[in-house]
């Protein structure tokens, strides 16, 4: 089939968790610009609707939304059923929904650990289990897990987040092998500090806990990145878009670092 260079993802349906804002919204906009229909999943219906409106206006593709907390397996299945009814079975799943909270290890109790593991790891498991059967049946699919450099290296005061993101990398690698003889690929994308609300909240927390100024905290974060800057959500989105393309069919089980050289695994 000849490649449609203007809309290489035309005919694809990408479901993106946490697609209403931050990195997820940027991924949704990029995939829509390339012609995919997109489904946005998140807890805040108003935010999802606002992003939907913007994408429809700018790109003229079909967009559907479904409110769900990714930690609620039944709600995830209901959401994906409704999106399937609206736009057909997702051919691309981007597990992007996530939370980052910090606490010293000895102050992180079991409830804290369960919450972080539920959002940052189990959410991806539930969503993947909901869409994978149709992808296997179609013999084509793309599963892209938005992990983090915290999935490949340790980082103090975020033990639960690091453990969940390392788990996401393990999930990616093992599932990539399990699906290797099909047309389904499974990859992880691992950003460094990215310019979103999540990073703004981390800076606010560190500022509050240490009494350092916002500028000092920002300078410390930026110093970790050899390029001396935050990653832009669109840079993460472009990598996701490349993984969705036909040309990335042999790329599976990989963890692609987008961090200005901060980590060289
Ligand atoms: P963000 O601005 O805080 O956005 C988080 C997104 O996740 C929101 O759309 C939120 O939607 C959704 N979400 C959170 N908990 C959810 C839940 N229980 N159920 C459903 N949706 C939920 O964060 P971001 O920076 O865009 O991060 C996106 C992903 O990139 C995360 O997995 C994060 O770990 C990863 N990441 C971020 C950075 C960074 O520096 N920002 C670096 C590396 C990796 P609702 O609130 O509407 O539910």
pLDDT digits (tens, 9 = 90+) for 190-203: 999 999 999 999 99
Mutate to test the pocket of ligand 1, among 30, 39, 42, 124 (most ligand atoms within 8 A of CB): 42
Please write the tens of the pLDDT for every residue from 27-74.
Answer: 999 999 999 999 999 999 999 999 999 999 999 999 999 999 999 999
Question: Residue 6 — pLDDT band, cuts 50, 70, 90?
Answer: confident
What pLDDT score does 156 carry?
95
* CA angle (29 as vertex; 61, 86 as ends), nearest 5: 40
CB atoms within 10 A of CB 257: 23
Local structure of residue 107 (DSSP, 8 states): G
Distance CA(49)–CA(58), nearest Å, equals 14
Phi-psi region for residue 253, left (φ > 0), alpha (ψ -120 to 50) or beta? Answer: left
* Percentage of the chain exceeding pLDDT 90: 97
Please write the tens of the pLDDT for every residue from 212-231.
Answer: 999 999 999 999 999 999 99
Distance CA(170)–CA(57), nearest Å, equals 38
Name the phi and psi angles at 255, rounded to 5: -120, 105
Q: Residue 161 CA: which ligand 1 atom is closest?
A: 34
Who lines ligand 1 at CB under 6 A?
A: 17-18, 20-24, 42-44, 47, 69-71, 96-100, 119, 146, 148, 191, 193-194, 196-199
CB 131 within 8 A of CB 15: yes
Task: Report all structural domains of the chain as residue ranges with CATH numbers, in order of start.
Answer: 13-192+232-258 (3.40.50.720), 196-230 (no CATH)
Q: Which residues of 69-85 are buried (b: 16+ CB within 10 A; e: fewer)?
A: ebbbbebbeebbebbbe
Position 9 pLDDT exceeds 90: yes
**Residue located nearest, by CA, to atom 19 of ligand 1:** 69
What's the mean pLDDT when you consider all of the chain? 97
């Amino acid at each position: 089939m000849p490649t449609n260079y203007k809309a290489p993802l035309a005919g694809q349906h990408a479901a993106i968790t946490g697609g209403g804002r931050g990195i997820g919204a940027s991924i949704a906009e990029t995939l829509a610009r390339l012609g995919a229909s997109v489904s946005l999943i998140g807890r805040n219906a108003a935010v999802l609707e606002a992003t939907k409106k913007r994408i429809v206006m700018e790109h003229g593709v079909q967009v559907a939304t479904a409110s769900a907390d990714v930690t609620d397996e039944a709600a995830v299945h209901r959401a994906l059923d409704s999106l399937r009814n609206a736009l057909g079975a997702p051919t691309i799943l981007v597990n992007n929904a996530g939370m980052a909270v910090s606490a010293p290890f000895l102050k992180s109790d079991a409830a804290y650990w369960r919450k972080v593991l539920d959002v940052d790891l189990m959410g991806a498991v539930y969503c993947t289990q909901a869409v994978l059967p149709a992808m296997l049946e179609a013999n084509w699919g793309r599963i892209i897990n938005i992990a983090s450099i915290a999935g490949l290296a340790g980082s103090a005061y975020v033990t639960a987040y690091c453990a969940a993101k390392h788990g996401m990398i393990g999930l990616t690698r093992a599932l990539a092998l399990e699906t290797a003889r099909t047309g389904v690929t499974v990859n992880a994308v691992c950003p460094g500090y990215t310019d979103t609300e999540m990073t703004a909240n981390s800076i606010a927390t560190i500022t509050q806990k240490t009494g350092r100024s916002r500028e000092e905290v920002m300078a410390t974060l930026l110093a970790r990145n050899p390029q001396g800057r935050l990653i832009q959500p669109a840079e993460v989105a472009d990598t996701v878009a490349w993984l969705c393309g036909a040309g990335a069919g042999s790329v599976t089980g990989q963890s692609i670092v987008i961090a200005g050289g901060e980590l060289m695994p």
